[in-house]
C-alpha cells in the first residue's frame, strides 16, 4: 500500500516533468526558428536583438520597428526582448540570455550607466557587438552610442518651450522617468544650468520620478499639483510621463492654466494638443534612431568600423555617418511639434 502511493507519487512527478519538458520542446521548436543566425554558413551573424528600457512603451515600439525595417533591408534577423518594468538591473538577465544564444548584435537603451556594464562586457567577450541608443552606458561597456540629438539641444528646446508658455517667470517642476536613467539625468542637469543662466525668474521646485510607469506618472502629476498649488509649468522629458500628465491635466481644473511640455510622440499627444492641454512639445524621429542603430550594428558586425573616432559607416536611407567623440554618433536635431504640424506625422 505504501509502495503504491510512493510509486504513484514518483510517477505523477515524472509525468508532470515530462509534460513540462514537452511544452518546452514545443516552444523551443517554434522559438528556434526566430533565434537562428548560423555562423557555419559563412555569412556574418546578423542576428540583432533590440533591448529597450522596458516593453509596452510607445516610443520604443516606434524605434524598434525602425530597427526591424533596417534589419529586413540588409537581410538580418530581428528580435526584441525587454523587461516589463524599467529598472537598473532588469536588463541583465536578458543580456545574459543573449550572450548564451550567441547573437551577432545587441542594441540597448540603458536604464543605468553602470549596472549592465559587466553583462555587456561578457557579451562583447563572446563576440557580440553592443550598440547603445537613446540612453547610454559608460563608454567602456559598448562599441557605439547612437545619440538622437545633443543633450544640450534637447534640454534647451524644452526649457525654451516652457519659458515661452509661462511667460518667462514662475514655478515649474520636472516629471522624469527612472531616477538612474542616463539620458534624462543628463538632460535635467543641463536644464538646471540653463535655467540658472538664462531664466533666473523661473524656479524649479521639484523633480519627481514616474519610473516610466503610466499609473505612477499619473499619480505623481496629481501629487505635484496638490503640493504646489501655484505651479505654472511641468516639463516631462519622457514620452510616458508627458502622456500621463496630459491625461491628468485634461480632466482637472488646471487644464490650460498649467503649461505642459517635454518629449512626446505625436500620436499619443494629438488629442491633448487639439483640446488645448498642451501647446507644443519636442521629439525626434525614433524610427530613424532605431534604423540607424541597426545599421551601426551591421557595420560593426561586418568589421567595417571599430567604433573609433572618425570611422564612417553607411546608414542606409539616412546616408553616411561619422563617429564622433567617445564613440557616439549624432542623428540630428530635436523637432518641435505643435497644433499646426502634428497632423503630418504618424508615430
Partner 1 sequence: MTALSPSPTVGSRIAHGFGAFVKARETGILLALVLVIVAATVKNPNFLFSSDGFRDLLLTPSILLLVAVGQAIVIITRNVDLSVGSVLGLTAYLTGRLFIDVPGIPVIAVFAIGIVAGGLLGLINGALVAFAKVPALVITLGTLYAYRGINVLWTGSDRINSSDMPASFLALGTQSILFIPILTIIAVVVLVVAAWYLRNQRGGRELYAIGSDPDAANLYGLKVTQRLLAAFILCGALAGLAGVLYAARYGTVNSQAGAGYELNAVGAAVIGGVAIFGGSGSVWGAAIGAYLLLTINRALPILGVQDFWQRAVVGALIIGAIVLDRVLALRQARRLVEARDS
Partner 2 sequence: MTNFLQALAPATRTYKDHSQPLWRRILFSREAAVIGGTLLVILVASLSVRAFAKPITATYLLLDIAPILLIALPMSLIIITGEIDLSVASIVGLSSVTLGVLHQGGMPIEAAAVVALLVGALAGAVNGFLITVVGLPSLAVTIGTLALYRGLAVGLLGTKAVTEFTEFWTDLAKSKIGATAIPSVVIPIVILAAIFGVVLHLTPFGRGIYAIGLSAEAARFSGIHVERTKFILFMLSGLVSALAGIYYTLRFSSARGDNATGLELSVIAAVLLGGVSIFGGRGSTLGPIAGAVLIGVLASALRLANVTSDVINIITGTLLVASVVATSFLAWLRTKRSRPGKKTETLAAAKG
The sign of the torsion formed by the CA atoms of 212, 151, 175, 167 equals negative
Contacts (CB under 8 A) with partner 2, residues 180-209: 180, 209
**Do residues 292 and 321 lie in contact, with contact meaning Cβ atoms separated by under 8 Å?**
yes
Contacts (CB under 8 A) with partner 1, residues 215-254: 215, 218-219, 222-223, 225-227, 229, 243-244, 247, 251-254
The sign of the torsion formed by the CA atoms of 302, 330, 239, 180 equals positive
Q: Which is nearer to partner 2, 38 or 325 (CB)?
A: 38
**Residue 144: helix, strand or coil by DSSP?**
strand
Name the strand (E) or helix (H) holding 31. helix 2-35
The sign of the torsion formed by the CA atoms of 322, 324, 327, 332 equals negative
Of 192, 182, 168, residue with least CA distance to 88 = 182
The option from partner 1, partner 2, none interacting with 100 (CB < 5 to 8 A, set by class) reads partner 2
**Residue 56: helix, strand or coil by DSSP?**
coil
Phi and psi angles of residue 121, each rounded to the nearest 5 degrees, phi first? -65, -35
CB of 60 to partner 1, least distance (A): 8
Q: Which is nearer to partner 2, 25 or 251 (CB)?
A: 25
Q: Which of 74, 101, 255, 302 binds partner 2 (CB under 8 A)?
A: 101
CB of 97 to partner 1, least distance (A): 17
- Does 56 bind partner 1 (CB under 8 A)? Our answer is yes
Rounded CA-CA distance 47/275 in Å is 44
- Does 168 bind partner 2 (CB under 8 A)? Our answer is no
- Does 347 bind partner 1 (CB under 8 A)? Our answer is no
- Does 135 bind partner 2 (CB under 8 A)? Our answer is no
Contact residues: partner 2, CB under 8 A: 1-10, 12-14, 16-18, 20-25, 27-29, 31-32, 34-36, 79, 81, 84, 87-89, 92-93, 96-97, 99-102, 112-115, 117-118, 178-180, 209, 211
Amino acid at each position: 500500500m505504501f509502495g503504491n502511493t510512493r510509486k504513484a507519487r514518483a510517477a505523477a512527478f515524472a509525468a508532470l516533468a515530462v509534460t513540462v519538458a514537452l511544452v518546452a520542446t514545443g516552444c523551443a521548436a517554434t522559438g528556434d526558428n526566430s533565434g537562428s543566425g548560423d555562423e557555419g554558413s559563412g555569412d556574418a551573424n546578423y542576428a540583432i536583438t533590440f533591448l529597450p528600457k522596458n516593453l509596452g512603451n510607445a516610443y520604443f515600439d516606434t524605434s524598434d520597428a525602425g530597427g526591424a525595417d533596417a534589419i529586413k533591408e540588409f537581410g538580418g534577423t530581428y528580435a526584441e526582448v525587454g523587461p516589463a518594468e524599467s529598472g537598473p538591473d532588469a536588463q541583465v538577465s536578458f543580456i545574459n540570455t543573449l550572450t548564451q544564444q550567441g547573437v551577432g548584435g545587441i542594441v540597448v537603451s540603458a536604464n543605468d550607466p553602470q549596472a549592465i556594464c559587466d553583462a555587456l562586457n561578457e557579451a562583447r567577450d563572446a563576440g557580440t557587438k553592443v550598440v547603445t541608443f537613446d540612453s547610454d552606458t559608460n563608454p567602456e561597456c559598448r562599441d557605439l552610442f547612437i545619440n538622437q540629438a545633443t543633450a544640450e539641444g534637447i534640454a534647451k528646446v524644452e526649457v525654451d518651450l516652457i519659458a515661452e508658455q509661462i511667460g518667462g517667470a514662475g514655478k515649474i517642476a520636472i516629471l522624469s522617468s527612472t531616477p538612474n536613467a542616463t539620458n534624462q539625468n543628463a538632460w535635467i542637469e543641463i536644464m538646471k544650468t540653463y535655467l540658472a543662466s538664462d531664466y533666473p525668474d523661473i524656479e524649479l521646485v521639484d523633480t519627481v520620478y514616474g519610473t516610466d510607469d503610466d499609473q505612477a506618472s499619473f499619480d505623481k502629476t496629481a501629487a505635484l499639483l496638490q503640493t504646489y498649488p501655484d505651479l505654472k509649468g511641468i516639463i516631462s522629458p519622457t514620452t510616458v510621463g508627458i502622456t500621463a500628465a496630459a491625461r491628468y491635466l485634461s480632466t482637472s481644473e488646471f487644464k490650460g492654466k498649467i503649461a505642459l511640455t517635454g518629449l512626446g510622440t505625436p500620436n499619443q499627444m494629438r488629442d491633448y494638443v487639439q483640446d488645448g492641454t498642451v501647446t507644443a512639445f519636442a521629439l525626434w524621429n525614433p524610427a530613424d534612431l532605431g534604423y540607424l542603430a541597426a545599421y551601426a550594428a551591421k557595420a560593426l558586425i561586418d568589421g567595417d568600423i571599430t567604433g573609433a573616432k572618425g570611422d564612417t559607416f553607411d546608414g542606409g536611407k539616412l546616408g553616411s555617418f561619422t563617429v564622433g567623440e567617445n564613440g557616439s554618433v549624432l542623428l540630428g536635431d530635436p523637432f518641435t511639434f505643435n497644433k499646426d504640424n502634428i497632423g503630418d506625422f504618424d508615430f
